[in-house]
Chain A
Amino acid sequence: AQKVTQAQTEISVVEKEDVTLDCVYETRDTTYYLFWYKQPPSGELVFLIRRNSFDEQNEISGRYSWNFQKSTSSFNFTITASQVVDSAVYFCALSEAPGTGFQKLVFGTGTRLLVSP
């Protein structure tokens, strides 16, 4: 069965610190997708990134970067020079391959990030 583990329930940092959110996944599929979503205090889910299982290149988008390592089944998310606006709950999610046409997302329990001034 698919499973996503976000062991960090809550992280508190001071502005400008770097922070890494951990995500470990389990799946028997050889083809799958991994996602990160941000949920700010307003409650909506904001899509951050999608990565397929065949692309292990790390990705950087501004202050955000993602480290995908199949060998350790991890897809960690780093925020560089954190800002107060980064305060949110962050969810990691996993999805099966497209061949089935089935797009179920399995979410982790989320990590609440608090960035103080």
Chain B
Amino acid sequence: EAQVTQNPRYLITVTGKKLTVTCSQNMNHEYMSWYRQDPGLGLRQIYYSMNVEVTDKGDVPEGYKVSRKEKRNFPLILESPSPNQTSLYFCASGAGGPAYNEQFFGPGTRLTVL
């Protein structure tokens, strides 16, 4: 089954404790992206990756890091989480060509930073 998986689905942590949210897709997509969803703000892009070892900032990259060492994985790293990073996070992947722009979203990770 074609899918994007994220782990963990729920996480409660404390300020300053480094964490990683994993994202994996099995569709051989070149493009992957992270979004955060906040009430009244919709979804905003954090980082994206066009392919292995190619990443760039989205609209709200501060406080986040990413890496793309393998095509299927795109982890989101919070080196020193703060309460304002409490949010619902979505990973997405997509392919180029005629199917361009249909992005597949993971189930979401709800993060609470105390």
Is the beta-carbon distance between A44 and B42 smaller than 8 angstroms? no
A interface, how many residues as a size bin? 20 to 34
In the complex, A50 has a CB within 8 A of chain B: yes
Is the beta-carbon distance between A43 and B88 smaller than 8 angstroms? yes
Is the beta-carbon distance between A43 and B101 smaller than 8 angstroms? no
Kindly report which residue of chain B lies nearest to residue A47, judged by CB atoms: B102
In the complex, A103 has a CB within 8 A of chain B: yes
Selected from A44, A103, A109, the residue in CB contact (under 8 A) with B100 is A103
Is the beta-carbon distance between A108 and B45 smaller than 8 angstroms? no
User: In whole angstroms, what is the CA distance A44 to B89 when docked?
Assistant: 11
Is the beta-carbon distance between A109 and B42 smaller than 8 angstroms? yes
In the complex, B107 has a CB within 8 A of chain A: yes
User: In whole angstroms, what is the CA distance A4 to B90 when docked?
Assistant: 19
In the complex, A105 has a CB within 8 A of chain B: yes
In the complex, B60 has a CB within 8 A of chain A: no
The 8 A CB mask of A73-108 against B (1 = contact, 0 = none) is 000000000000000000101010010011111011
Residues of A within 8 A of B45 (CB): 104-105
In the complex, A45 has a CB within 8 A of chain B: yes
Selected from B41, B90, B102, the residue in CB contact (under 8 A) with A109 is B41
User: In whole angstroms, what is the CA distance A44 to B110 when docked?
Assistant: 11
Whole-angstrom distance from the CB of A77 to the nearest CB of chain B?
A: 15
In the complex, B75 has a CB within 8 A of chain A: no
Is the beta-carbon distance between B101 and A98 smaller than 8 angstroms? yes
User: In whole angstroms, what is the CA distance A43 to B10 when docked?
Assistant: 12
Selected from B44, B50, B88, B104, the residue in CB contact (under 8 A) with A107 is B44
A10-59 residues with Cβ-Cβ distance < 8 A to B are 33, 35, 37, 43-45, 47, 50
* Residues of A near any B CB (own CB < 8 A): 4, 6, 33, 35, 37, 43-45, 47, 50, 91, 93, 95, 98, 101-105, 107-110
Given A43-B107, A47-B103, A91-B42; 17 other pairs, CB 8 A cutoff: A33-B101, A35-B101, A37-B105, A44-B105, A44-B107, A45-B105, A47-B102, A93-B43, A98-B96, A103-B94, A103-B100, A105-B35, A105-B45, A107-B42, A107-B43, A109-B41, A109-B42
* Residues of B near any A CB (own CB < 8 A): 31, 33, 35, 40-45, 48, 50, 58, 88, 90, 92, 94, 96, 100-105, 107-108, 110
